[in-house]
């Protein structure tokens, strides 16, 4: 196993690595500073797009461009012009919330949740954006939405409310996009002081979670048991995604500054995009939004 820095743009809050198999390019974001980045597998040809608000996540569209979950709702992003167009703000009466992490299911729906910006109260929700641009609320009572991902067959949806310190599992109806039977997939309490942030599922059906403030990546078997633990060179790791031509490189984002003063800092180099090679594990291709 080999860990290297791929791009060091010192993101204030690096998040959401997304490998696109069609373009063979990696996207990631700076949530705090409102930026979308793109690069080759080895960190060349870096491009950046500014968005007008804090950004929680993004997905690519089948017809080109992207959907971005910004502080005040879902938006389209046109890569050619840089223009941003509002789709829908699901929480117009919740000024202390913003949209956060999200991913696309097998049918081309974008599932993303919101977060309490003070990361204290269970005031946030989980949403599904359908290709016809209808927005449906899937769950409530969330502090910080993170780590949405699916089992290889798409029938189990994983999700973390970060400060509950657990990863949840839901039954996922691929035909309707409905969730049911919420339960605890695994608890991360007592694992080095961190909490579950971004996540992905590999081709073997194992869940990878970035332990933010804990400086670790954890791999869980489908039964929720811990299979592997990787120590990272920084404490504030935020998310993970497999990419590269063979989907066998694990990309890891990190933050350079804690979002609130009460959260721990560390003296290590941070804000970089990392790549982990030679794991002997492959990921799954991410889907594009069908709308």
> In whole angstroms, what is the distance from residue 286 CA to residue 206 CA?
16
Distance CA 276, CA 274 (A): 7
Structure tokens belonging to residue 144: 């910080």
* Residue 197 is among the residues annotated as catalytic for this protein: yes
The contacts of residue 81 (CB under 8 Å, 6+ apart) are none
- The annotated binding site for substrate is made up of 98, 100
Residues 287, 106: Cα–Cα separation, whole Å = 6
Give the whole-angstrom CA distance, residue 69 versus residue 251.
Answer: 21
Q: Is the distance from CB of 179 to CB of 154 less than 8 angstroms?
A: no
DSSP state of 268: S
Would you give the distance in Å from CA 251 to the centre of its chain? 12
Q: What is the DSSP string of 113-159?
A: EEEETTS-SS-EEEEEE-TT--EEEEEEEESBEEEEEE-TTS-EEEE
* Nearest CA among 53, 154, 78, 80 for reference residue 111: 154
Q: Tell me which long-range contacts 83-86 makes (C-beta under 8 A, separation of at least 24).
A: 84/51, 84/52
Check 30, 116, 197, 248 and give the catalytic one: 197
Determine whether 181 is exposed, middle or buried from the number of CB atoms within 10 Å of its CB (0-12, 13-18, 19+).
Answer: exposed
Give the whole-angstrom CA distance, residue 213 versus residue 194.
5
Q: Could you tell me which residues come within 8 angstroms of residue 190 by beta carbon, excluding any fewer than 6 positions away?
A: none
Catalytic positions, please? 197
């Amino acid at each position: 196993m080999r860990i290297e820095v791929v791009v060091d743009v010192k993101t204030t809050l690096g998040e959401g690595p997304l490998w696109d198999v069609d373009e063979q390019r990696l996207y990631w974001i700076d949530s705090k500073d409102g930026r979308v980045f793109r690069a080759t597998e080895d960190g060349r040809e870096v491009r950046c797009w500014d968005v007008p608000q804090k950004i929680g996540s993004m997905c690519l569209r089948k017809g080109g461009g992207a959907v971005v979950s910004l502080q005040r709702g879902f938006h389209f992003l046109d890569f050619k012009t840089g223009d941003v167009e509002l789709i829908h703000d699901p929480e117009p009466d919740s000024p202390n919330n913003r949209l956060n992490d999200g991913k696309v299911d097998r049918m081309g729906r974008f599932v993303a949740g919101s977060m309490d910006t003070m990361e204290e109260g269970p005031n946030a929700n989980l949403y599904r954006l359908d290709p016809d641009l209808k927005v449906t609320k899937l769950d409530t009572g969330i502090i910080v939405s993170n780590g949405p991902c699916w089992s290889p067959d798409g029938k189990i949806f994983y999700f973390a409310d970060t400060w509950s310190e657990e990863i949840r599992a839901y039954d996922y109806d691929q035909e309707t996009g409905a969730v049911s039977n919420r339960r605890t997939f695994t608890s991360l309490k007592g694992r080095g002081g961190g909490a579950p942030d971004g996540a992905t599922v590999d081709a073997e059906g194992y869940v990878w979670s970035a332990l933010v403030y804990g400086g670790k990546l954890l791999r869980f078997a489908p039964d929720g048991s811990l299979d592997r633990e990787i120590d990272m060179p920084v404490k504030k790791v935020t998310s993970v995604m497999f990419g590269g031509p063979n989907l066998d490189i694990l990309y890891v984002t990190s933050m350079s500054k804690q979002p609130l003063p009460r959260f721990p800092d560390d003296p290590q180099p941070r804000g970089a995009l990392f790549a982990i090679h030679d794991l002997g594990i492959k990921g799954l291709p991410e889907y594009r939004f069908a709308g």
